[in-house]
Chain A
Amino acid sequence: DQQVKQNSPSLSVQEGRISILNCDYTNSMFDYFLWYKKYPAEGPTFLISISSIKDKNEDGRFTVFLNKSAKHLSLHIVPSQPGDSAVYFCAASLNAGGTSYGKLTFGQGTILTVHP
Protein backbone atom coordinates (compact mmCIF):
# COMPACT_ATOMS: atom_id res chain seq x y z
CA ASP A 1 0.00 0.00 0.00
CA GLN A 2 1.75 3.11 -1.24
CA GLN A 3 0.54 5.94 0.94
CA VAL A 4 2.61 8.63 -0.79
CA LYS A 5 2.73 8.69 -4.57
CA GLN A 6 4.64 10.69 -7.10
CA ASN A 7 3.01 9.69 -10.35
CA SER A 8 5.49 11.40 -12.67
CA PRO A 9 8.77 9.47 -12.78
CA SER A 10 10.43 12.32 -14.65
CA LEU A 11 10.03 15.96 -15.62
CA SER A 12 12.00 17.98 -18.14
CA VAL A 13 12.00 21.79 -17.98
CA GLN A 14 13.82 24.62 -19.72
CA GLU A 15 16.10 26.82 -17.64
CA GLY A 16 14.27 29.87 -16.32
CA ARG A 17 10.84 28.26 -16.53
CA ILE A 18 8.77 26.89 -13.67
CA SER A 19 9.12 23.30 -12.48
CA ILE A 20 6.06 21.78 -10.83
CA LEU A 21 6.47 18.49 -9.01
CA ASN A 22 3.40 16.74 -7.70
CA CYS A 23 2.69 14.37 -4.86
CA ASP A 24 -0.50 12.65 -3.71
CA TYR A 25 -1.14 10.90 -0.43
CA THR A 26 -3.88 8.65 0.88
CA ASN A 27 -3.51 8.81 4.65
CA SER A 28 -5.49 11.76 6.02
CA MET A 29 -3.58 11.43 9.31
CA PHE A 30 -0.41 12.79 7.72
CA ASP A 31 0.21 16.23 9.15
CA TYR A 32 3.71 17.23 8.06
CA PHE A 33 5.09 17.12 4.55
CA LEU A 34 8.60 17.60 3.27
CA TRP A 35 10.43 17.79 -0.02
CA TYR A 36 13.94 16.43 -0.39
CA LYS A 37 16.35 16.70 -3.28
CA LYS A 38 18.78 13.90 -3.98
CA TYR A 39 21.81 13.60 -6.22
CA PRO A 40 23.07 10.12 -7.16
CA ALA A 41 25.06 8.37 -4.42
CA GLU A 42 24.32 11.16 -1.93
CA GLY A 43 21.89 11.50 0.93
CA PRO A 44 18.63 13.43 0.51
CA THR A 45 18.94 17.15 1.14
CA PHE A 46 16.04 18.85 2.88
CA LEU A 47 14.43 21.56 0.76
CA ILE A 48 11.19 22.75 2.28
CA SER A 49 8.37 21.55 4.50
CA ILE A 50 4.77 22.38 5.27
CA SER A 51 2.52 21.66 8.20
CA SER A 52 -1.02 20.52 7.58
CA ILE A 53 -2.35 23.71 9.17
CA LYS A 54 -0.95 25.72 6.25
CA ASP A 55 -1.65 25.65 2.54
CA LYS A 56 1.49 27.36 1.31
CA ASN A 57 5.08 27.77 2.37
CA GLU A 58 7.70 29.70 0.45
CA ASP A 59 11.49 29.73 0.66
CA GLY A 60 13.32 31.60 -2.06
CA ARG A 61 12.74 29.87 -5.39
CA PHE A 62 10.86 27.02 -3.74
CA THR A 63 7.18 27.05 -2.85
CA VAL A 64 5.18 24.13 -1.54
CA PHE A 65 1.41 24.07 -1.83
CA LEU A 66 -0.83 21.75 0.18
CA ASN A 67 -4.42 20.91 -0.76
CA LYS A 68 -5.71 18.81 2.10
CA SER A 69 -9.13 18.15 0.60
CA ALA A 70 -7.48 16.70 -2.49
CA LYS A 71 -4.67 15.10 -0.48
CA HIS A 72 -2.23 16.69 -2.86
CA LEU A 73 0.92 18.72 -2.52
CA SER A 74 3.16 20.29 -5.09
CA LEU A 75 6.59 21.86 -5.21
CA HIS A 76 7.12 24.84 -7.47
CA ILE A 77 10.63 25.88 -8.43
CA VAL A 78 10.91 29.20 -10.19
CA PRO A 79 13.04 30.04 -11.99
CA SER A 80 14.45 26.57 -12.62
CA GLN A 81 18.21 26.23 -12.91
CA PRO A 82 20.37 23.43 -14.36
CA GLY A 83 21.73 22.81 -10.85
CA ASP A 84 18.21 21.85 -9.78
CA SER A 85 18.50 18.67 -11.85
CA ALA A 86 18.14 15.84 -9.33
CA VAL A 87 15.62 13.37 -7.94
CA TYR A 88 12.94 15.00 -5.81
CA PHE A 89 11.20 13.04 -3.09
CA CYS A 90 8.13 14.12 -1.22
CA ALA A 91 7.71 12.66 2.24
CA ALA A 92 5.01 12.69 4.89
CA SER A 93 4.87 12.00 8.58
CA LEU A 94 2.00 11.51 10.92
CA ASN A 95 1.20 12.34 14.49
CA ALA A 96 -0.30 9.18 15.91
CA GLY A 97 -0.01 9.82 19.60
CA GLY A 98 3.70 9.21 19.60
CA THR A 99 3.66 5.63 18.41
CA SER A 100 4.81 6.49 14.92
CA TYR A 101 6.97 9.44 15.77
CA GLY A 102 9.82 10.01 13.44
CA LYS A 103 8.51 7.77 10.67
CA LEU A 104 8.72 9.37 7.25
CA THR A 105 6.89 7.83 4.32
CA PHE A 106 8.51 8.70 1.00
CA GLY A 107 7.13 8.88 -2.50
CA GLN A 108 8.92 7.09 -5.33
CA GLY A 109 10.66 10.23 -6.51
CA THR A 110 10.58 12.37 -9.65
CA ILE A 111 13.69 12.93 -11.76
CA LEU A 112 13.87 16.61 -12.69
CA THR A 113 16.05 17.64 -15.60
CA VAL A 114 16.53 21.35 -16.25
CA HIS A 115 17.96 22.06 -19.68
CA PRO A 116 20.14 25.14 -20.28
Chain B
Amino acid sequence: DTEVTQTPKHLVMGMTNKKSLKCEQHMGHRAMYWYKQKAKKPPELMFVYSYEKLSINESVPSRFSPECPNSSLLNLHLHALQPEDSALYLCASSQDGMLAGVETQYFGPGTRLLVL
Protein backbone atom coordinates (compact mmCIF):
# COMPACT_ATOMS: atom_id res chain seq x y z
CA ASP B 1 0.00 0.00 0.00
CA THR B 2 1.52 3.29 -1.12
CA GLU B 3 -1.37 5.56 -0.28
CA VAL B 4 -1.09 9.12 0.91
CA THR B 5 -4.40 10.81 1.62
CA GLN B 6 -5.12 14.51 1.66
CA THR B 7 -8.11 16.52 2.83
CA PRO B 8 -9.91 18.52 1.69
CA LYS B 9 -9.85 17.87 -2.05
CA HIS B 10 -10.86 21.43 -2.81
CA LEU B 11 -10.71 24.58 -0.70
CA VAL B 12 -11.84 28.13 -1.37
CA MET B 13 -10.79 30.76 1.10
CA GLY B 14 -10.70 34.50 1.46
CA MET B 15 -7.53 36.42 2.17
CA THR B 16 -8.46 36.90 5.83
CA ASN B 17 -9.39 33.29 6.51
CA LYS B 18 -7.46 30.69 8.46
CA LYS B 19 -7.62 27.13 7.15
CA SER B 20 -5.60 23.92 7.35
CA LEU B 21 -4.66 21.23 4.89
CA LYS B 22 -4.22 17.70 6.17
CA CYS B 23 -2.13 14.81 4.97
CA GLU B 24 -1.95 11.26 6.30
CA GLN B 25 0.05 8.15 5.49
CA HIS B 26 0.11 4.73 7.12
CA MET B 27 3.16 3.29 5.39
CA GLY B 28 5.44 3.84 8.36
CA HIS B 29 7.30 6.52 6.44
CA ARG B 30 9.31 8.93 8.57
CA ALA B 31 9.72 11.72 6.01
CA MET B 32 6.84 13.89 4.80
CA TYR B 33 6.78 16.76 2.35
CA TRP B 34 4.67 19.66 1.19
CA TYR B 35 4.84 20.76 -2.46
CA LYS B 36 3.06 23.51 -4.34
CA GLN B 37 2.17 23.07 -7.99
CA LYS B 38 0.92 25.82 -10.26
CA ALA B 39 -0.76 25.01 -13.57
CA LYS B 40 1.58 23.68 -16.26
CA LYS B 41 4.53 23.80 -13.85
CA PRO B 42 6.39 21.07 -11.96
CA PRO B 43 5.86 20.61 -8.22
CA GLU B 44 7.95 22.93 -6.07
CA LEU B 45 9.17 21.79 -2.68
CA MET B 46 7.98 23.84 0.30
CA PHE B 47 8.81 21.87 3.45
CA VAL B 48 10.38 18.58 4.50
CA TYR B 49 9.80 16.86 7.83
CA SER B 50 12.07 14.03 8.87
CA TYR B 51 11.27 12.11 12.05
CA GLU B 52 8.68 14.76 12.92
CA LYS B 53 11.24 17.55 12.78
CA LEU B 54 11.31 20.29 10.18
CA SER B 55 14.45 19.71 8.14
CA ILE B 56 13.91 21.85 5.04
CA ASN B 57 12.02 25.13 4.62
CA GLU B 58 12.43 26.40 1.07
CA SER B 59 12.10 30.06 2.09
CA VAL B 60 8.34 29.76 2.24
CA PRO B 61 6.42 32.85 3.46
CA SER B 62 5.26 32.68 7.07
CA ARG B 63 1.61 32.71 6.01
CA PHE B 64 2.23 28.99 5.41
CA SER B 65 2.88 27.15 8.67
CA PRO B 66 3.59 23.40 8.64
CA GLU B 67 3.00 21.08 11.55
CA CYS B 68 3.81 17.41 12.06
CA PRO B 69 1.80 16.16 15.07
CA ASN B 70 3.06 12.59 14.68
CA SER B 71 4.81 10.38 12.18
CA SER B 72 1.62 9.70 10.19
CA LEU B 73 0.19 13.20 9.98
CA LEU B 74 1.26 16.42 8.34
CA ASN B 75 -0.68 19.67 8.40
CA LEU B 76 -0.27 22.92 6.55
CA HIS B 77 -1.86 25.90 8.29
CA LEU B 78 -2.85 28.78 6.04
CA HIS B 79 -3.40 32.36 7.14
CA ALA B 80 -3.73 35.64 5.24
CA LEU B 81 -3.03 34.05 1.88
CA GLN B 82 -2.82 35.95 -1.37
CA PRO B 83 -4.60 35.12 -4.65
CA GLU B 84 -1.24 34.10 -6.14
CA ASP B 85 -1.10 31.30 -3.55
CA SER B 86 -3.88 29.54 -5.43
CA ALA B 87 -2.41 26.21 -6.55
CA LEU B 88 -2.49 22.45 -6.09
CA TYR B 89 -0.85 21.58 -2.76
CA LEU B 90 0.69 18.14 -2.73
CA CYS B 91 1.80 16.06 0.19
CA ALA B 92 4.34 13.26 -0.20
CA SER B 93 6.07 10.77 2.03
CA SER B 94 9.16 8.60 1.84
CA GLN B 95 10.68 5.87 3.95
CA ASP B 96 13.28 7.73 5.90
CA GLY B 97 14.31 11.13 4.59
CA MET B 98 17.81 10.67 5.99
CA LEU B 99 18.97 8.48 3.09
CA ALA B 100 19.43 11.24 0.57
CA GLY B 101 19.32 10.27 -3.04
CA VAL B 102 17.94 6.76 -2.64
CA GLU B 103 14.32 7.21 -1.73
CA THR B 104 11.08 7.27 -3.65
CA GLN B 105 8.52 9.83 -2.64
CA TYR B 106 4.86 8.87 -2.86
CA PHE B 107 2.39 11.64 -3.47
CA GLY B 108 -1.15 12.23 -2.34
CA PRO B 109 -3.89 13.44 -4.69
CA GLY B 110 -3.47 17.06 -3.63
CA THR B 111 -5.70 19.85 -2.37
CA ARG B 112 -6.82 22.35 -4.99
CA LEU B 113 -6.74 25.73 -3.24
CA LEU B 114 -8.36 28.89 -4.53
CA VAL B 115 -7.73 32.16 -2.69
CA LEU B 116 -10.21 34.92 -3.43
Contact = CB atoms under 8 A, between A and B. Distances in A.
B25 interface: no
A96 B84 CA distance: 32
A101 B110 contact: no
Contacts, number: 84
Interface residues on A, range: 20 to 34
A2 to B, nearest CB: 10
B69 interface: no
A46 B92 CA distance: 11
Given A41-B88, A102-B33, A102-B55, A31 B101 contact: yes
A111 B109 CA distance: 19
Task: Place the interface of chain B in its size category.
Answer: 35 or more
B2 A103 contact: no
Given A41-B88, A43-B110, A45-B107, 16 more contacts: A44-B43, A46-B104, A46-B106, A93-B101, A96-B100, A97-B100, A100-B56, A101-B98, A101-B101, A102-B31, A102-B103, A102-B105, A103-B45, A106-B44, A108-B41, A108-B42
Interface of B: 2, 4, 6, 31, 33, 40-45, 48, 50, 55-56, 88, 90-92, 94, 97-110, 112
Closest 7 CB pairs of A and B: A95-B101, A106-B42, A101-B100, A43-B107, A95-B100, A31-B101, A32-B101
